[in-house]
Amino acid sequence: MILVHHLNDSRSHRILWLLEELGLDYEVRCYQRDPNTHLAPPELFDVHPLGKSPVIEDGENIVHESGAIIDYLVRKYATNQQLQPAPDSSDYEQYVQWLHYAEGSAMLPLLLKIYVGQLGDSGEPLQPRINSELDNHLGFIESSLAGKTYLVDEQFSAADIQLSFVGEVAHSFGLLSQRPHLKAWVERFQARPAYKAAVEQGGTYSLAK
């Protein structure tokens, strides 16, 4: 049985969603953010030295970082190119790039918008650069989704799951109104039964607008 250390309103929702897509049995151990600071509770430091979520336990394997967890679960449990292209196909490299792009590049300007926004007027000098980066990355995703259902070869994959948090955070900031392809993609994956089942397992997901 896979154990998921799950923090509310966080990237760990993606792991519950992936497990539902794979049809695997799992247990959820829930942790709640501090209502005032919105920080993770100190109990997560007992799970991993970074005090972050998600973390999974699968037998003797303890895996942290959402991208690494997604890669681990797909490699170990997916069958017949389920959730990823065949490794020897031309689409596989594109899939891997999206998988790493989500946290390696796309999420950073959104995090900066969140944190700098908390500074009030003192953060205003940084906003033009942050907004420029957001336009760059969200524009890239928007153009990549033009005429497509999902990121890679019209097939829903773990890359869509990994990048989903970027789309949802951008949506929560109201940044998708002029990006119809990205908005439709978010609405499409949020309608998947496995996504909805993950919300039921992990609790209300406030970013899922």
Cα distance between residue 23 and residue 82, in whole Å: 11
For residue range 32-64, what is the model confidence (pLDDT) as tens digits? Answer: 888 888 888 999 999 999 999 999 999 999 999
Cα distance between residue 23 and residue 25, in whole Å: 7
The model's confidence at residue 186, banded by pLDDT at 50, 70 and 90, is: very high
Cα distance between residue 16 and residue 39, in whole Å: 20
Neighbours of 51 (CB within 10 A): 17
Overall average pLDDT of the 15-35 stretch:
94
Sign of torsion, CA 181 182 183 188?
positive
Q: Does residue 125 carry a pLDDT above 80? A: yes
The one-letter code for the residue type at 41 is P
Domains of the chain: 2-82+194-202 (3.40.30.10), 91-192 (1.20.1050.10)
- Two structure tokens written together for 53: 């979520």
The model's confidence at residue 207, banded by pLDDT at 50, 70 and 90, is: low
How many Cα atoms sit within 13 Å of 102 on the Cβ side?
A: 25
For residue range 68-112, what is the model confidence (pLDDT) as tens digits? Answer: 999 999 999 998 778 999 999 989 999 999 999 999 999 999 999
Cα distance between residue 175 and residue 168, in whole Å: 10
Cα distance between residue 105 and residue 28, in whole Å: 29
SS3 at position 29: strand
* DSSP track, 63-118: EESHHHHHHHHHHHH--TTTTS--TTSTHHHHHHHHHHHIIIIIHHHHHHHHHHHT
User: What pLDDT is stored for residue 142 in this prediction?
Assistant: 98
Overall average pLDDT of the 14-19 stretch:
97
The model's confidence at residue 23, banded by pLDDT at 50, 70 and 90, is: very high
- Two structure tokens written together for 150: 């999902």
Tell me which H or E stretch contains 180.
Answer: helix 180-190
The one-letter code for the residue type at 18 is L
Q: Does residue 209 carry a pLDDT above 70? A: no
For residue range 129-175, what is the model confidence (pLDDT) as tens digits? Answer: 999 999 999 999 999 999 999 999 789 999 999 999 999 999 999 99
Sign of torsion, CA 31 35 38 42?
negative
